[in-house]
Amino acid sequence: MSTQRSIGRYEIQAELGRGAMGVVYRANDPLLSRTVAIKTINMDLEQDGMDEYEARFYQEAKAAGGLNHTNIVIVYDIGKTGNLAYMAMEYIDGVELRSMLSQEQPLPVAQALDIAAQVAEGLAYAHEHQVVHRDVKPANILITPNGRAKIADFGIARMRSAETQTQTGVILGSPKYLSPEQVVGKRADHRSDVFSLGVILYQCLTGKTPFNGDGVSALMYQITNHNPAPPSTMNPQVPVMLDYIIAKALAKSVDERYQSAADFAADLRECRKTLEPPMEASNPRLSTSGSNPVLSVTQTVVLDRSQTLKPKEPPAAAEPEAAAPPAEVVPTRGLSRAFDSTEATQRLLAQTLDPQSEVPPEDPETTGPVMLPYGLRRSRAWGDRENKILAATVMAALAIAAWIISA
């Protein structure tokens, strides 16, 4: 296989990896002039089994070929050459998550959450299109240099499960990531993928898988019966919130697990936000220019008193009245309504009978009445008009007095 120079129309350039089921190559598609990854699948079975196997392979590969998501490796083409079925896929210039975990050292918590959230979003998309992976594991997750996670091998996992009758050892080649229902032979659904991703996330955070055993039987027992220790007990950088998320993903009962990969992804994203302080430029709640700015309790009280109530308070329109007294004073230009003869006489008599009273100095700019001692008011100035009025008043008083005497 390693000396093979072409598969179908694809020109083999290099061998990328080898597994129990076949080999992965980097190849060139001369028709479209693009680099692809070719994954071969060995169909060297009895004739009766191969017919069913091949039919299932094409059915699953077609379903996988309809998936187009940024976190899923795209399937371009499927075919068969001799006893080899092959799948031409998007070539990813990256590394397997398996190699990143090979040293059994935990990844940074933020990086682990980013990877798991992306994988969960890719699985959610596939589940919406009625495609279940059934074999989510680090070897099937590729990480690009910019941190993008890509899920590979959609459509191939079902082929592995079909081999159970004749190649049981193949399906259990990497059973650490299988769900309890898969271990006991029940049908796997989308919640099985959630469990497998929970195992991967646990390993990313602690460097170790949650279920381990000396043999396959011991491992299967752990998967179906053992509850692993919270990852924070092995990695103090793991927040408690993440302990609860993983516990829910690893629930033995499918009904107690996350019911969708989308919900799993949403919780992972929320947990990721708690690991770093919010950026001022990227958090709209910190900007007072937004439609709903967040205020402290003190700021809310200030708004209630100085802003919220002000437009509703009728006295707001009366504010100018406080500064309006000068405008309400009627200028005493001649005999105004505020300057009738009786009032003027009283003022003049008061001034005449109390010449010691201090009158405020006259202000040439004053245009209205001013206050005198004892609450009396006088006009703007004392001129000829006032002298004439005073003389007339005195003469009238003398005339009245003479009339009374003569009578």
Region 166-172 average pLDDT: 39
User: Does residue 329 form part of some domain?
Assistant: no
- Residue ranges of alpha helices (H) inside 176-286 are 180-183, 190-206, 216-225, 240-249, 261-273
Tokens for 99? 């190699």
What's the alpha-carbon Rg for the chain, to the nearest Å? 47
Region 378-405 average pLDDT: 76
How many Å apart are CA 122 and CA 150, to the nearest integer?
Answer: 8
DSSP string, 193-222: HHHHHHHHHHHHHHSS-S---SSHHHHHHH
Q: What is the pLDDT of residues 227-280, one digit of tens each?
A: 999 999 999 999 999 999 999 999 999 999 999 999 999 999 999 999 875 444
Look at residue 146 in the predicted model and tell me its pLDDT.
95
Q: What is the pTM of this model?
A: 0.64
How many Å apart are CA 37 and CA 57, to the nearest integer?
Answer: 18
Give the CA count within 13 Å in the CB-facing half-sphere of 277.
Answer: 4
Residue 118 has pLDDT above 60, yes or no: yes
* Choice among 30-39, 74-83, 232-241, 254-263 with the minimum mean pLDDT: 74-83
Does 135 participate in catalysis according to the annotation? yes
Residue 97 has pLDDT above 70, yes or no: yes
User: Does residue 349 form part of some domain?
Assistant: no
Region 142-147 average pLDDT: 96
Tokens for 229? 């220790």
Please report, for the domain that includes residue 36, its CATH number: 1.10.510.10
Residue 26 has pLDDT above 70, yes or no: yes
Q: How confident is the model at residue 376 (pLDDT cuts 50, 70, 90)?
A: very low
Tokens for 205? 């955070």
Q: How confident is the model at residue 150 (pLDDT cuts 50, 70, 90)?
A: very high
Residue 313 has pLDDT above 80, yes or no: no
Look at residue 19 in the predicted model and tell me its pLDDT.
72
Q: How many domains does the chain have?
A: 1
User: Does residue 248 form part of some domain?
Assistant: yes
Region 98-105 average pLDDT: 94
User: Does residue 181 form part of some domain?
Assistant: yes
User: Does residue 404 form part of some domain?
Assistant: no
Average confidence score pLDDT of the chain? 76
Look at residue 163 in the predicted model and tell me its pLDDT.
44
User: Does residue 282 form part of some domain?
Assistant: no
Residue 382 has pLDDT above 80, yes or no: no
Residue 21 has pLDDT above 80, yes or no: no
Q: Which domain holds residue 66?
A: 6-273
User: Does residue 101 form part of some domain?
Assistant: yes
Q: Are strands 95-96 and 370-371 parallel, antiparallel or unpaired?
A: unpaired
Annotated catalytic residue: which of 29, 77, 114, 135?
135
User: Does residue 299 form part of some domain?
Assistant: no
Highest mean pLDDT among 38-52, 220-234, 290-304, 326-340: 220-234
